[in-house]
Amino acid sequence: MAKRTKYDASIAFLQQAGPGKTIAVYRDKEVLYSQHSPGDAIFYLQSGLVKLTMAMRARRKKAVVSVLQAGDIFGECSLGAQGRRVTTATSIGTSTITRLERATFRRKINQDTAFAEMFIGYLISQAARYKADLADHFLNSCEKRLARLLLMHGSLVQKSGSGYSTLRFSQSALAEMVGTTRARVNGFMNEFREKGYIRYNGGLEIDAPTLTAFLQE
């Protein structure tokens, strides 16, 4: 039997219910928390997808800040002095999520050095990912942002026997994440199909190698 590492113990803590911790299954489009609401808990995504959005009420605009996958921790801004949510978290499809009360999470960080190291490492990797996303937004076209999005999130697709992957998102959701219109995403998808990057076979399938080659051009 493989030896259990400190990292495994930290993940097990996040995956199990207990004092100050609850596990719930969320429905598609169910909101976990809203922007500007009190930040009283941290969340761990066990399975599924969650999107974080930020809205500007004065301009009636909304942007997708991030799409989270299994293993991600979110709502960590509530640990700071501000105490208010800066984004809205919404389940994409069905997701299983652990909710940890803020006091419980803080106590674990203070008492468990290995857990604190794991959490710091996670925050560093998240900061790097956000920087890459920001650079992608400013430096790449909408077409390449769409290609990168399809390739970057492993759980957006499901492997098929042919080696292709089946997309789980609607074009409207993709447009929201890329930062463009559904019509433009539809146009890009048609171009991708003509070039062999994707195909329709009872659903949309992605050919990752050819789409990667296009992204690296």
Quick one: pLDDT at residue 155? 42
pLDDT one-digit tens code per residue, 34-68: 999 998 999 999 998 898 988 877 667 777 888 88
Closest C-alpha among 89, 50, 92, 47 to residue 70: 47
State the pTM of this model: 0.77
Q: 11: pLDDT confidence band, cut at 50, 70 and 90?
A: very high
Beta bridge partners of residue 62, listed in sequence order: 55
Residue 115 has pLDDT above 90, yes or no: yes
**More confident of the two residues 22 and 145:** 22
Quick one: pLDDT at residue 107? 95
Closest C-alpha among 4, 5, 3, 14 to residue 119: 14
When pLDDT is averaged across residues 102-123 and rounded to a whole number, the result is 94
Tell me the CATH number of domain 6-138, given options 2.60.120.10, 3.30.2180.10, 3.40.50.720, 1.10.645.10.
2.60.120.10
Quick one: pLDDT at residue 46? 96
Residues 6 or more apart whose CB falls under 8 angstroms from that of 191 comprise 143
pLDDT one-digit tens code per residue, 143-160: 888 888 887 764 455 555
Domain definitions of the chain by residue range: 6-138, 140-215
Residues 6 or more apart whose CB falls under 8 angstroms from that of 157 comprise 150, 165, 166, 167, 168, 206
For the chain, give the percent of residues with pLDDT over 70: 88
Angle at 161 between CA 213 and CA 195, to 5 degrees: 30
Q: H or E stretch including 189? A: helix 182-194
Closest C-alpha among 136, 144, 38 to residue 83: 38
The CATH topology of domain 140-215 is Arc Repressor Mutant, subunit A (1.10.10)
Quick one: pLDDT at residue 146? 87
